[in-house]
Amino acid sequence: MNSALKIKSGAWQCEVAPALGGCLAGLWFDGKPVLRSPGAQALTSARQSGCYVLVPFSNRLSQAVLQWQGTSHPLVKNNGTEAHAIHGIGWQRSWAVLDQDESSVLMSHEHRREPGWPFAYDASQTIQLRPEGLSMTLSITNQDDKAAPVGLGWHPFFVKQPGMQLRFSARHRWEMGEDKLPTRALPHAGLHAPVDTLDMDHCFDGWSGEAELSWPAGQWSISSSLRHLVVFTRPDRDDVAVEPVSHVNNALNLLAQHKGLEPEDLGVRVLAPGESMSAHWSLQRRV
């Protein structure tokens, strides 16, 4: 059985599962689910949850191999039969609870070199509820003896509401091949579209850091320090993933494939030993 921590503030309630990647097993406003909310006891993986962290990279790394500074690092294929490594390793690790009160939880996990990721790091995340909504912070510190590439993000699944529209602005959308990897970036102003008919699994860059999910009865306002956004849903799904992330899908291997690119061109941070990176996102209810 998966133990859970429960926090609350005003009309907001949240259930956190530290042993399953520190994921959000449920998030409710006024008793109604905001994110996909099965509850911790129903989970066997963080990927079934309402939201989980993406660390030390987001989305896919092609063929589960990291190409970095002329060296190939085999990773772990961690999504069933899929050929790629996906969403880092933090979602598959148990997180230690460092502090908790009625409305917040602070957790961490330590990683040392292993096949899942060849660089040592420490990560921490804070989940906090306030009367106005949810706030999450994610940090990583390079504990290796060499510079390491990193990326951060979150994978929240919002419950679709009748008449719901997704709206945000961006500069480019990365087109996807049949292998679920990005091929090229094309100019794109973002989205203003109904989610019930949306069929999408794309990364947008030049994101403004603001997005809205609105429907006749209300609105979720999303805000983040990150400047890439992945949107994933299909008409047959009851949820839509709106994912603030720091870099383009498969960015670390795209750098190896295109010699003219620099890490910052794709949103990749390279941390010196002992250096840290942090990101945040928040969710508010508006009427």
The whole-angstrom separation of Cα 285 and Cα 34 is 10
Average pLDDT over residues 114-125: 95
Q: Is the pLDDT of residue 1 over 60?
A: no
Domain that holds residue 275: 5-286
Number of structural domains the chain divides into: 1
Which DSSP string do the residues of 93-154 spell out, in sequence order?
S--EEEEE-SSEEEEEEEE-SBTTBSS-EEEEEEEEEETTEEEEEEEEEE-SSS-EEE--EE
Contact (Cβ atoms closer than 8 angstroms) between residue 110 and residue 260: no
More confident residue, 257 or 175: 175
CB-CB neighbours of 110 under 10 Å? 14
Average pLDDT over residues 108-125: 96
CATH of the domain at 168: 2.70.98.10
Question: pLDDT tens, 217-271?
Answer: 999 999 999 999 999 999 999 999 999 999 999 999 999 888 888 999 999 999 9
Q: What is the pTM of this model?
A: 0.97
Average pLDDT over residues 97-114: 97
The whole-angstrom separation of Cα 265 and Cα 226 is 14
CB neighbour list of residue 180: distance below 8 Å, 6 or more residues apart: 60, 82, 84, 201
The whole-angstrom separation of Cα 143 and Cα 138 is 16
Q: Is the pLDDT of residue 287 over 80?
A: no
The whole-angstrom separation of Cα 279 and Cα 45 is 24
Total count of residues recorded for the chain: 287
